Amino acid sequence: MRIDILEQYQAQTRCLVALDSIIFGFDGEELKLLLVKRGIEDETHTWSLMGGWVQPEESLESASSRILYELTSLTDIYLEQLHTFGSPHRDPVERTVSVAYFALINVEDYDHKISKNFEAHWFSMQELPKLLFDHGSMVEMAIENLRYKASQHPIGFELLPEKFTIPQLQKLYEAIFGTELDKRNFSRKLLSTNLLIKLAEKQKGYSKKGAYFYRIDEEKYKKHFNNFLNFLPGSTS
């Protein structure tokens, strides 16, 4: 019986397992995507997600962290598994299955830590370059997943500084959902949650009057964070 099982294994075609990480970033104005030049295509203007191969001794999670570090020097980023891409011809070089991960980070917190060895560069989601293989499909799926998560959980606040303005928060959600939100309606819905604390300080240079800074009431937020969902796109409240 053991011999039969081994023979079944030996008869199978070997397949590479790759990992690709989709790193979204918010810089206070727009949503961006972190890409690198890989040098495996004849076309010099083709860019890639953070990708590499899983080694025999690695778990998927440890491999994703290692690859991201090798290409960008970034560490301690939470990567969430998105989907497995296994089209037989997705990689024209070798039969490869890719497990995609994604993350959403604050550009300001990490940009100075990014290594330039692989020409890692932030691109606006509105002006993405040509992407390697099926990486464009990965990004499309990731942004849809991000929008779903943002509609179910108030994930945006971790991307903002400790104190922020309502216009800053509105720009974040407009960037995620790719739509323009009504300024007055957004502000009204947000303030109606009663989960923000208004500060005396104003943001300089925003307008003649300036925009007040706010911070999250941490205690109320932990108990009633679902209140924030009322102001998201598609909300009818």
Residue 202 structure tokens: 């104003």
Asked if residue 95 belongs to a domain, the reply is: yes
Q: What is the pLDDT of residue 237?
A: 44
Tell me the C-alpha distance between 190 and 96, whole Å: 46
Helix (H) or strand (E) holding 219: helix 218-224
Q: What is the pLDDT of residue 116?
A: 77
CA atoms within 13 A on the CB side of 221: 12
Q: Tens digit of pLDDT for each residue in 108-163? A: 888 888 887 778 899 999 999 999 999 999 999 999 998 888 777 666 666 777 78
The dihedrals phi and psi of 194, each to the nearest 5 degrees, come to 60, 30
Q: What is the pLDDT of residue 205?
A: 65
21/123 same-domain check: yes
The dihedrals phi and psi of 216, each to the nearest 5 degrees, come to -80, 135
Q: What is the pLDDT of residue 34?
A: 95
The span from the first CA to the last CA of the chain, in angstroms, equals: 64
90/159 same-domain check: no
Q: Tell me the CATH number at 185.
A: 1.10.10.10
Asked if residue 237 belongs to a domain, the reply is: no
- Does residue 197 sit in helix, strand or coil? strand
Q: Which residues of the chain have pLDDT under 70?
A: 1-3, 39-44, 153-158, 205-208, 225-237
Out of 136, 151, 166, pick the residue that ends a domain: 151
Tokens 């890692």 label which residue?
Answer: 120
Tell me the C-alpha distance between 145 and 140, whole Å: 9
SS (H, E, C) 106-157: EHHHHHHHCCCCCCCEEEECCCCCCECCCHHHHHHHHHHHHHHHHHHCCHHH
- Does residue 100 sit in helix, strand or coil? strand
88/165 same-domain check: no
Assign residue 73 a region (left: φ > 0; alpha: ψ between -120 and 50; beta: otherwise). Answer: left
75/116 same-domain check: yes
Domain span at residue 106 reads: 2-151
